[in-house]
Each structure stands twice: as C-alpha cells, then as structure tokens.
Amino acid sequence: MIQIDSHAVRGFGVVDNIKTAAEKACPGVVSCADILAIAAEASVSLAGGPSWNALLGRRDSRTANFAGANRFLPSPFEVLTNITAKFAALNLSVTDLVALSGAHTFGRAQCFTFSNRLYNFSGTGNPDPTSNSSYLAILRQICSQNGNRSILTNLDLTTPNVFDSNYVFDSNYFSNLRRNEGLLQSDQELFSTNGAATVAIVNNFRGNQRRFFASFVQSMINMGNISPLTGRNGEIRSDCKRVNGAGNWVGWSSS
C-alpha cells in the first residue's frame, strides 16, 4: 500500500517519459493522443489481456476543459442510469460500458473514491447494502473513517498484480461483482441494479473470458473513435500536460 497526493489521476510522469523519447527520435510528430492509445493497448496485452491495433494519427486538442471533463466523464458515485446516459451521449452502448468497466481488473483506486460506501452510505448511517460484509471489513481496515483519503487499494481484489498471477487482465472483475466485491459504487451497480441490462452482460463476460476480450477490443476501438482530431485539426502537443503556447512552457531545445 502506498500513499500519494489526492489527485484523481496518476502516471503523468510515465507519459512524459514516452513523449521525451518520441520527441528525441522524431520531433513534433507523435501526438499525446497516440501515445495514450498505444500505452493502453500495451498495458492490457502485457498484463495477459488481448492485443489490438490501436488507430493512430489522432492529434491533440488545442483546448483543455476541466468543467467539460467533469460533465462528460462518469463519477464513481453516479447511479447506473446516469452513467449509461453519459455513455449513450457519446454513442457508446451498455455493452461498451460493461466491457470497458472490465479494465478495473487491474489498477488501484484511492479511498475517497469508495469510502462513502463503507460507513454512512447515502446518509443511511450504514454501509452500502450491495457490498459483501467481509469485503467491507477489509476495506474499512484500509480506509479508516476520516483517515487519509489518498491511500490506494486494488480495484480487483483477486488478480491485481503480475507477481500474484500470470493473468492480471482477466474476467475476475466480473466474478467479483457477482460476489458483491466490486470496489466502486459504479462497478457494483452493473450487477446489483435490479432489472438492468448490464446484469446479463456481467454474467456473460464472467462465464466466457474470450467474449469479454473480444468485446473489450471492440469497445476500446469504439471509444477511440469518439470525435478524433485528424489531418490538420488539433496539434501535436510538445508537453502532454498542456496545450501548446499555454503557461510558461518554452518548447524543447534543438541543441
């Protein structure tokens, strides 16, 4: 277990290192969008999941929009109908939602993204009833009430790490949901929402890892096709964290 500052996303340094290497080899050619698409594919296939050809030649946005990101991206506290609507607004189906959520078969989340489920769920004074009580006890040990919000724990309690198992990117995420051991509210809702179309899809992917992998690949391609910037649109960012010309970035040196 490690502790970091309380930011919602991590790993910028990894992207910066890849960008630095790409700029050195071929300045101004490789977009940050393409770096992220390739890194996602490599992470999944190296962890024992499927491989695919990520579509490339996608350029970087000339704007960065904090409010827009919060409006369009689902939150882990959101109810399933809202999350489904946010996906549908981008032409992503319920199958895409379940398949892509399967990426939570690896990686970590900070306490503040699920601690609302552990002690006083929706003001009830009780934990989230859709969560397994022994799992809740484990999570309460990790995230004490009013404790450090940024402590990390595994999204998949069964096969999170390469050193625990050869199969990290597997369908165990779906088995976890069926045992009421989904970490985020948005994970568990896929299985625990009565009458939702997502329940049958969870069952299907749990029983057939090949089908999960095939759907995951298709859904990653679908997600990558949400209004990409190609041709002369957008730009090739010099620093993946900011649009060109913003802030005090002075560009790379040619020496």
Considering only residues 59, 104, 117, 237, which one is a binding residue for ligand HEM as defined by CB under 6 A?
Answer: 104
Contacted entry of Ca ion, ligand HEM, none for residue 76, CB cut-off 5 to 8 Å set by kind:
ligand HEM
CB 61 within 8 A of CB 36: no
7 is in an annotated binding site: no
Q: What type of residue is 94?
A: V
- Selected range binding ligand HEM among 103-111, 115-123, 194-202, 243-251, rule: CB under 6 A: 103-111
- Selected range binding Ca ion among 69-77, 92-100, 166-174, 217-225, rule: CB under 5 A: 166-174
CA distances from 110 to 1, 53, 182, 186 (A): 11, 31, 14, 14
57: nearest Cα among 231, 237, 243, 244: 231
105 is in an annotated binding site: yes
CB 202 within 8 A of CB 212: no
Q: How far apart are CA 75 and CA 185, in angstroms?
A: 9
Cβ at position 109, least distance to ligand HEM in Å: 3
Q: What type of residue is 59?
A: R
CB 175 within 8 A of CB 202: no
Considering only residues 84, 113, 159, 222, which one is a binding residue for ligand HEM as defined by CB under 6 A?
Answer: 113
Residues in binding site for heme b: 104
Where along the sequence are the contacts to ligand HEM (CB under 6 A)?
Answer: 8, 10-11, 74-76, 83, 97, 100-101, 103-104, 107-110, 113, 184, 186
